[in-house]
């Protein structure tokens, strides 16, 4: 009888052990965000209205028609007067950058933000197990990640990933790398460094599809500290719930809509093609198709199936229509599964398009609009400035969910969902100005200052105002 009991008890205990072990391993595979630090350059790098005009007029490749085009682009961009540019622009050397301009720009960011983050978190550089650095448009030897390791004297066995050419969507790609590492290795600290080097990438030609980048991109960066240590669960700010990456590089239209190339005169820049809105729409829709079942409640998905079935029945009885590449409203109500929307500040049109697609209110879009106004498009780091705005406004409460959406060249659309682990209210990079946001008006002063250009009719006979000479 005792022998028969053992035959039942031992396998049962073994099965219980396997179940416990599986559960225990999954607990160690979580990805927690402990802290992050956005970068705010010094005030002497602030790009005001008057100085922006001087930068434009000292480009001898531009004429009156280009002035009018740029004025319209800047006024409608959603960018304010307090964004930041590289130092070589203020030195008047944007047309002839050096390698050290780019390296110095990045080291200034590294030395400021990483030091602040590690000091605040109490983590020593020697405790970092994984370092992921994404700077899309600057490569150097030694690599930028090696420069960080050398400066902070990190361990010799640190696992390093140095990403380039990933564009504005790179920080979520880096996050995906860290998430996968956390699945196979326990008790690790990871440092994610995301920024963009503008110093060697300021376009000095007159191709309209390439000078647009000068109107949108600004200096910035962010450093994020992550871990999978379960003991830090109650100290963490956020927990990563899911992440989805979509890549349409196989589509020719998507591949070529945002690409670094030389113009007809051999000047290097970023080409933003007319197919960009269509490529963004396709990538966005495909990404939502995958992530929606992961973040929305069952009732919303069932409602979507019913609505889709009814629309399919009516499809044959109504004329066909095309959105022409413009993002249209989603039949899903994402607010049933998401509390806050952290949108990439790719430009006013990007924010408006996502807002229309997800049926978001101005309250939902405010963090992205204010970030674009204050800091501009800081490429892959822009999401974290938006998150910082939400935190500074004390919007993020324990149990809330935050949906991050980013786009990038390739063409890519990446998104993820975070769970807020505790009430958040630190000012981060917004601390000294959050009380001024949102301002009464986001009207750009460029039209008031430079509107004279629209009154000029003869492109060969006009005189610049004194403040631009």
pTM of the predicted model over 0.85? yes
Q: Which of 247, 248, 271, 450 is catalytic?
A: 247
Find the helix or strand (DSSP H, E) in which 268 lies. Answer: strand 268-272
Query: What is the model's pLDDT at position 325?
Result: 46
| Predicted confidence band of residue 467 (pLDDT cuts 50, 70, 90) | low
Active site residue 377: yes
With 80 as the cut, is the pLDDT of residue 326 above it?
Answer: no
Query: pLDDT tens digit string along 192-207?
Result: 999 999 999 999 988 9
pLDDT greater at residue 452 or residue 253: 253
pLDDT greater at residue 319 or residue 282: 282
Query: pLDDT tens digit string along 158-187?
Result: 999 999 888 899 999 999 999 999 999 999
CB within 8 Å of 434: residues ≥ 6 apart: 389, 392, 393, 427
- Do residues 219 and 86 touch, judged by C-beta distance below 8 A? yes
Query: pLDDT tens digit string along 400-428?
Result: 999 999 999 889 999 999 999 999 988 88
| Predicted confidence band of residue 322 (pLDDT cuts 50, 70, 90) | very low
Query: pLDDT tens digit string along 74-92?
Result: 888 889 989 999 999 999 9
Active site residue 248: no
With 70 as the cut, is the pLDDT of residue 10 above it?
Answer: no
* Token couple for 235: 């100290």
Q: Which of 38, 88, 134, 168 is catalytic?
A: 168
Q: What is the dihedral of CA 33, 37, 38, 42, to 10 degrees?
A: 180
Least Cα distance to 79 among 349, 362, 311 occurs for 349
Query: What is the model's pLDDT at position 42?
Result: 94
| Predicted confidence band of residue 321 (pLDDT cuts 50, 70, 90) | very low
Query: What is the model's pLDDT at position 199?
Result: 93
Mean predicted confidence (pLDDT) in 233-260: 93
Least confident of 3-17, 288-302, 375-389: 3-17
* CA-to-CA dists, residue 112 to 32, 108, 228, angstroms: 23, 6, 25
Q: Which of 248, 340, 342, 444 is catalytic?
A: 340
Q: Which of 59, 206, 377, 444 is catalytic?
A: 377
The whole-angstrom separation of Cα 383 and Cα 374 is 13
Which residues are registered as beta bridge partners of 401? 419
**E strands along 79-214, which residues?**
83-84, 130-135, 159-163, 189-195
Average pLDDT over the chain, rounded to whole? 88
Query: What is the model's pLDDT at position 62?
Result: 87
Query: What is the model's pLDDT at position 446?
Result: 82
Q: Which of 31, 201, 248, 373 is catalytic?
A: 373
**Angle CA 336–222–229, to nearest 5:** 70
- Do residues 41 and 83 touch, judged by C-beta distance below 8 A? no
The whole-angstrom separation of Cα 282 and Cα 469 is 46
Active site residue 373: yes
* Token couple for 211: 């000078």
Active site residue 168: yes
């Amino acid at each position: 009888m005792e022998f028969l009991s053992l035959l039942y008890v031992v396998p049962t205990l073994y099965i219980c052990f396997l179940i416990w072990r599986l559960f225990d391993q999954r607990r160690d595979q979580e990805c927690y965000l402990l802290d992050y630090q956005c970068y705010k350059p010094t005030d002497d790098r602030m790009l005001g209205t008057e100085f922006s005009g001087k930068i434009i007029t000292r480009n001898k490749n531009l004429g009156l028609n280009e002035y009018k085009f740029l004025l319209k682009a800047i006024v409608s961009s959603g960018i304010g007067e307090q964004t930041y540019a590289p130092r070589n622009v203020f030195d008047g050397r944007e047309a002839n950058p050096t390698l050290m301009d780019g390296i110095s720009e990045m080291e200034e960011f590294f030395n400021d933000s990483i030091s602040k983050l590690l000091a605040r978190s109490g983590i020593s550089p020697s405790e970092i197990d994984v370092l992921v650095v994404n700077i899309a448009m600057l490569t150097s030897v030694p690599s930028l990640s090696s420069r960080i390791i050398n400066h902070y004297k990190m361990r010799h066995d640190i696992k390093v990933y140095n990403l380039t050419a990933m564009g504005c969507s790179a920080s979520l790609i880096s996050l995906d790398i860290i998430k996968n590492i956390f699945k196979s290795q326990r008790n690790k600290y990871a440092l994610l460094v995301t920024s963009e080097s503008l110093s060697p990438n300021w376009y000095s030609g007159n191709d309209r599809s390439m000078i647009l980048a000068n109107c949108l991109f600004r200096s910035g960066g962010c450093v994020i500290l992550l871990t999978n240590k379960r003991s830090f669960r109650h100290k963490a700010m956020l927990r990563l719930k899911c992440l989805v990456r979509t890549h349409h590089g196989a589509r020719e239209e998507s591949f070529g809509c945002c690409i670094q190339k030389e113009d007809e005169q051999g000047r290097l820049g970023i080409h933003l093609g007319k197919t960009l809105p269509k490529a963004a729409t396709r990538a966005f829709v495909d990404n939502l198709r995958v992530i929606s079942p992961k973040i929305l409640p069952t009732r919303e998905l069932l409602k979507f199936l019913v609505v889709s079935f009814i629309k399919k029945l009516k499809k044959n009885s109504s004329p066909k229509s095309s959105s022409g590449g413009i993002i249209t409203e989603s039949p899903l109500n994402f607010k049933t599964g998401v509390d806050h929307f952290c949108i990439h500040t790719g430009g006013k049109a990007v924010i408006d398009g996502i807002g229309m697609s997800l049926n978001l209110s101005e309250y939902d879009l405010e963090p992205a609009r204010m970030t674009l106004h204050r800091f501009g498009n800081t490429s892959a780091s822009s999401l974290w400035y938006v998150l910082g705005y939400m935190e500074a406004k004390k919007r993020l409460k324990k149990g809330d969910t935050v949906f991050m959406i980013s786009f990038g060249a390739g063409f890519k659309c990446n998104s993820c969902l975070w769970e807020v682990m505790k009430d958040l209210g630190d000012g981060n990079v917004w601390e000294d100005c959050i009380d001024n946001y949102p301002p009464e008006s986001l009207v750009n002063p460029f039209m008031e200052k430079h509107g004279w250009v629209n009154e000029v009719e003869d492109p060969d006979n006009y005189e610049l105002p004194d403040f631009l000479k």
